[in-house]
Amino acid sequence: MTPEQKPVATTGGKGLALHYKVLIGFVLGTLLGLAVHSFIGNAPWVESLIAYVTQPFGKIFLNLLFMLVVPLMFSALVLGVAELGDIASLGRLGWRTLIYTAGVTCAAVGIGLLCANVFQPGTHLDPSLIDKVVGSNIAKADQIIEQGKQLNFMDLIINIVPHNIIGAMGDDKQKLGIVFFALMFGVGLVMHPSAGTRAFKNTLQGVFEISMTLIGLFIRLAPYAVAAFMFNLTAQLGFDAIRALLWFVVTVLVALAIHGFIVLPLWVRFMGGMSPRTFFSGTQEATLTAFATASSTATLPVTLRVAEENLKLPRKVSRFVLTVGASANHHGTALFEGITVLFLAQASGLHLPLTQQLLVLILCILGGIGTAGIPSGSLPVIAMICAIIGLDAQKIGIIIGVNTFLDMCRTALNVTGDLATAVVVANRSGETDMPDDATLERLEEGAMH
């Protein structure tokens, strides 16, 4: 690795590691928010603090990360494809990624549906509470339903090939279009090696390094942003919303825990050839960042860095698998969508037979791929699935109060699942990094002498 290609540090030098700072910010923000909610309530100055300080700060932090996502995704994926060296390697890597992603996502949704059937969270709700909560969130629910109506599985498939790449870059629902465009660009680089394409590859390497450097600066704000996010959540809601939907929250958390702490470790150990202890130790920073931002897309820079630095995965594999995974590999989201659909059915007094639950499983696997990697990106997909199986989508208003917290939890599993997939693909494919151009030049010069 040349000096120009050294990984960019994001921990801000010596001192406490970033993930510990994030954890401290999480705890302090939560405790402060709960104290404000319990002893002060909705005082005007608290609402002003949230509206004019903590909420804008959190949004600016996310925007700083989202601002660099497109150049990072594009450069990382093109470079990853180019480093594979031939189209056959790309095909093998792509098929492995697709098969492993589909298999583990199916397991995640199956666990979610099983937990929903065992815990029956929708049957523990007071009907009067359902009407009250739905009524209070009717405007938000209608907005989500309208977004869900705009989703169509055929459109999702068609939009994988974007007719306007500039438009796709500005639309969170079309991130797969950027992935496809970058794949084609990488294929072009592999098929036509020349002085011009080598120069362009070096330019992309510069774009990637600049993006990682800037994100390394921005990510230092993460502990403060996490504190702001948790303060906003707990100061406004306290534990009231979670207490009212306790069975639903517990069902989701148990299912996420089973998949995250049983399925993924076994998968990493036996398919990826890596110790679960090593895996979780190496991925904790990315997991905490995903929890804080509730966005797998915004977490991508950290995910790429820990894959290469901590897990020692080949660049060609990590850049390909993780960049695609940030847009299409959402274990936690698919699991949550399955539980939520069954929960809403139970809350409506409906019993879904096995055939309809199998349909829900398939729709959730597809929905996990089509879900935008942004906060609350799964809610329109849930509304669409409800419409397909004949549920009243307005019932989605029941979960809005606890969605932010659960969104953070499922995004953490999404990113952990992406990294687990990268570990397995790297181990099963046997790919290793090729020497970079500068190293090859030095080797050639040494051979000549």
The residue count for the chain: 449
Residue-level pLDDT at 4: 39
| Residues 126-133, mean pLDDT to the nearest whole number | 62
Q: Which of 9-23, 164-178, 239-253 has the lowest mean pLDDT?
A: 9-23
The answer to whether 350 and 391 are in contact (CB under 8 A) is yes
Which range has the top average pLDDT, 52-61, 140-149, 173-182? 52-61
| Residues 107-130, mean pLDDT to the nearest whole number | 84
User: Which residues, 6+ apart, have CB-to-CB distance to 228 below 8 Å?
Assistant: 29, 53, 54, 55, 57, 58, 61
pLDDT-derived band at 448, boundaries 50, 70, 90: very low
Distance CA 367, CA 408 (A): 18
**Structure-block tokens of residue 424:** 């397995």
Pick from 65, 15, 425, 36: which is nearest to 222 by CA? 65
The answer to whether 331 and 413 are in contact (CB under 8 A) is yes
Q: Which residue has the higher pLDDT, 1 or 119?
A: 119
113 CB-side CA count, 13 A: 23
Residue-level pLDDT at 198: 85
Query: Is the pLDDT assigned to residue 9 strictly greater than 50?
Result: no
The answer to whether 322 and 259 are in contact (CB under 8 A) is no
| Residues 383-412, mean pLDDT to the nearest whole number | 79
| Residues 63-80, mean pLDDT to the nearest whole number | 80
User: Which residues, 6+ apart, have CB-to-CB distance to 229 below 8 Å?
Assistant: 29, 58, 292, 294
Query: Is the pLDDT assigned to residue 421 strictly greater than 80?
Result: yes
Query: Is the pLDDT assigned to residue 368 strictly greater than 70?
Result: no
Residue-level pLDDT at 424: 94
Query: Is the pLDDT assigned to residue 204 strictly greater than 80?
Result: yes
Distance CA 307, CA 98 (A): 19
Coil vs helix vs strand at 15 = coil
Residue-level pLDDT at 173: 65
Pick from 210, 204, 184, 188: which is nearest to 75 by CA? 204
Query: Is the pLDDT assigned to residue 403 strictly greater than 90?
Result: no
The 10 Å CB-count burial string (b at 16+, else e) for 43-75 is eeebeebbeeebbebbeebbebbeebbbbbbbb
User: Which residues, 6+ apart, have CB-to-CB distance to 214 below 8 Å?
Assistant: 68
Query: Is the pLDDT assigned to residue 415 strictly greater than 50?
Result: yes
For the segment 329-359, what is each residue's pLDDT rounded down to a tens digit? Answer: 688 888 998 998 898 888 888 888 888 888 8
Residue-level pLDDT at 8: 42
Q: Which of 131-135, 227-231, 299-303, 444-448 has the lowest mean pLDDT?
A: 444-448
Q: Which of 68-77, 165-174, 289-298, 351-360 has the lowest mean pLDDT?
A: 165-174
**Structure-block tokens of residue 100:** 């492993």
Percent of the chain with pLDDT over 90: 16
pLDDT-derived band at 165, boundaries 50, 70, 90: confident
For the segment 277-300, what is each residue's pLDDT rounded down to a tens digit? Answer: 999 999 998 998 888 778 887 788
Q: What is the mean pLDDT of the chain?
A: 79
The answer to whether 228 and 55 are in contact (CB under 8 A) is yes
| Residues 8-34, mean pLDDT to the nearest whole number | 72
**Structure-block tokens of residue 375:** 């906060």
Residue-level pLDDT at 392: 76
Query: Is the pLDDT assigned to residue 256 strictly greater than 90?
Result: yes
| Residues 70-78, mean pLDDT to the nearest whole number | 81
Q: Which long-range contacts (CB under 8 A, 24 or more apart) does 27-32 make?
A: 28/227, 29/226, 29/227, 29/228, 29/229, 29/230, 29/231, 29/234, 30/230, 30/231, 30/233, 30/234, 32/227, 32/231, 32/234, 32/235
pLDDT-derived band at 132, boundaries 50, 70, 90: low
Query: Is the pLDDT assigned to residue 188 strictly greater than 90?
Result: no
Q: Which residue has the higher pLDDT, 64 or 118?
A: 118
Could you write out the DSSP letters of every residue in 310-337? TS---HHHHHHHHHHHHHH--HHHHHHH
| Residues 133-155, mean pLDDT to the nearest whole number | 60
Distance CA 92, CA 353 (A): 38
pLDDT-derived band at 128, boundaries 50, 70, 90: low
Q: Which of 70-74, 164-168, 372-376 has the lowest mean pLDDT?
A: 372-376
**Structure-block tokens of residue 405:** 């917290």
